[in-house]
Amino acid sequence: MMGLQIFTNSLAHFLAGVLLLCAFALLSQRRLAAMITLVQAEALVLSAAAFWQGLVQGSDGLFLTGIITLCIKGFLLPIALRRITRQFNLIRAVETVMPVGLSMIIGVGLIGIAVMVVLPGSAGTVTLTHEDLAIALSVVLLGLLVMTTRRNALSQVIGFLSTENGLVLAAIGMPGMPFVVELSVALLVLLALLVVGVFVFQLREHFETLDLSGIEAIERRGR
């Protein structure tokens, strides 16, 4: 029984660690194709983690969460993002507000902060271990960092998806999490992306660019 528990925790840690590695790798990428591939890898790992937790906890809701994550964020959204990338010919590097090396250093600092904040305050955690909760918070913070350090609208959408992956990673480890909450989060993300898609097409139509810094320059000249 003890050996099975160790294997269960080890596999959960491994999947969470791979997801964190993908989230951290987003900071080093400046091309949308690579960023889309990484966030798709996050979704595939997250769905595997949901299936595993569903098996361990005996929860049908977690299996449904894994299916939704796999279908929507593992396949449908990456296909849509790649189609937008090809349609707008977005093959050049995405502009960043700071050097990539500096953003990666800040990312390491955010991971350290997540560990220091979560581990001392989660002594009573049972199903979701201290390390998994720290990893989930780290993924959320890294996704927010991607959103704030990229100027391109699509790259900010990718950062938003990574942030949501961290939130779902934390939710699937919580015993008794109602499936309706997870489903509402997934639908909210899908709705937000639909709105962002319309916004992106309007930006391209009126400004012929998705670089937000260029749009700000146009706005300043208009004043």
Report the predicted TM-score, pTM, of the whole model to 2 decimal places. Answer: 0.82
Tell me if residue 136 falls in helix, strand or coil: helix
Residue 139 is predicted with a pLDDT of 96
Residue 144 is predicted with a pLDDT of 93
Tell me if residue 209 falls in helix, strand or coil: coil
Is pLDDT larger for residue 199 or for residue 133?
Answer: 133
Say yes or no to pLDDT of 127 above 60: no
Residue 162 is predicted with a pLDDT of 92
Cα 193 versus chain centre, distance: 13
Neighbours of 68 (CB within 10 A): 21
Distance CA 182, CA 173 (A): 12
Span 139-163, average pLDDT: 89
Is pLDDT larger for residue 216 or for residue 106?
Answer: 106
For 106, half-sphere exposure in the C-beta direction (CA atoms, 13 angstrom radius) is: 16
**6-20, 23-37, 85-99, 105-119: which range is least confident on average?**
85-99
Q: Name residue 187's beta-bridge partners.
A: none
Distance CA 145, CA 22 (A): 14
Distance CA 73, CA 81 (A): 11
Nearest to 70 by CA among 95, 93, 47, 102: 47
**Average pLDDT of the residues of the chain:** 79
How many separate helices (H) and strands (E) can be counted in the chain? 9, 0
Say yes or no to pLDDT of 3 above 50: yes
CB 52 within 8 A of CB 22: no
Q: What is the DSSP letter of 59?
A: -
Residue 203 is predicted with a pLDDT of 59
